Amino acid sequence: MKPIIVDTNIVFSALVNKNSPIASFLLEPQQALIMPKFGFVELFKHKEKICKISKHSHDEILEVLYELIRHIDFFDENTISVDALQKSWELVKDVDPKDMLFVALTIEMNGLLWTGDTKLRLGLETKGFNAFFDGFYAKSTDSP
């Protein structure tokens, strides 16, 4: 099974609704779940927004976050190959540059990107990138 590279917005969704199918899947993964370390920083940056939207306390959000990240391997983006970074940059530079590490990690790991970002997904698909994880079933075609 290919590893699933989890975009920050997926974990954000699980934190906002800890009883959602997304949260359940993240808590009981059937495949390896991976994020670049940068994803954790992104989540921390939005902690106030997560609390506001979810209507949960900081402590409740931290408890759920701890449970979620126990099932996600955080990858040191400094070890991603230059080739994967270059390919990723070409794919995201005019779509959403801040997602470069997620796409690069997907390429590096020959994985599937799980994102809820429609703009990113459509932009990548127009450039021939189709290695996506679609919810609870994988759609895997050739990735760049």
What CATH number is associated with residue 82? 3.40.50.1010
Domain that holds residue 111: 4-140
pLDDT value at 141 more than 70: no
The CA distance from 78 to 43, in Å, is 19
Percent of the chain exceeding pLDDT 90 equals: 55
Between 106 and 70, residue with greater pLDDT = 106
Torsion of the alpha carbons at 64, 10, 50 and 73, rounded to the nearest 10: 50
The string of pLDDT tens digits covering residues 18-49 is: 888 998 899 888 889 999 999 888 888 887 88
Judge contact between 103 and 91, C-beta under 8 A. Answer: yes
The CA distance from 44 to 4, in Å, is 21
Place of tokens 């940059």: 89
Q: What is the pLDDT of residue 143?
A: 37
The string of pLDDT tens digits covering residues 70-96 is: 899 999 999 999 999 999 999 999 999
What pTM value is reported for the model?
Answer: 0.87
Q: What is the mean pLDDT of residues 108-118?
A: 95
Domain count, the chain: 1
